[in-house]
Amino acid sequence: MADIWLTSLITDTPQEGFELAITLSRRGVKYTQPDGEVLHKLRPVYANDADSLTAASQVVAINFQTVAAANGYWRK
């Protein structure tokens, strides 16, 4: 991958940090399946399956741990 998509883990607010965690989660998928069309086709499958959605939320939670720690939990 030639494009630069991640230059910092620091965000202004916890919500932006949460959104960065979502980006990280999707990038983790994209490195395994770079074909955007395939990903687009898979979307309706897992977006309508409760267990798939829980699993997706779990990956976000793990990445949010990293981003939150990087930001000192936005304590100030």
**Which residues in this chain contact a copy of itself in the complex, by CB under 8 A?**
1, 4-10, 13-15, 18-19, 22, 24-29, 31-33, 38, 42-43, 45-66, 68-70, 73-75
Q: How many whole angstroms separate alpha carbon 32 and alpha carbon 7?
A: 21
8 A C-beta contact, residue 64 and residue 14: no
Neighbour count for residue 7 (Cβ, 10 Å): 6
Shortest distance (Å) from residue 49 CB to a copy of itself: 8
Shortest distance (Å) from residue 59 CB to a copy of itself: 5
8 A C-beta contact, residue 64 and residue 21: yes
Shortest distance (Å) from residue 40 CB to a copy of itself: 11
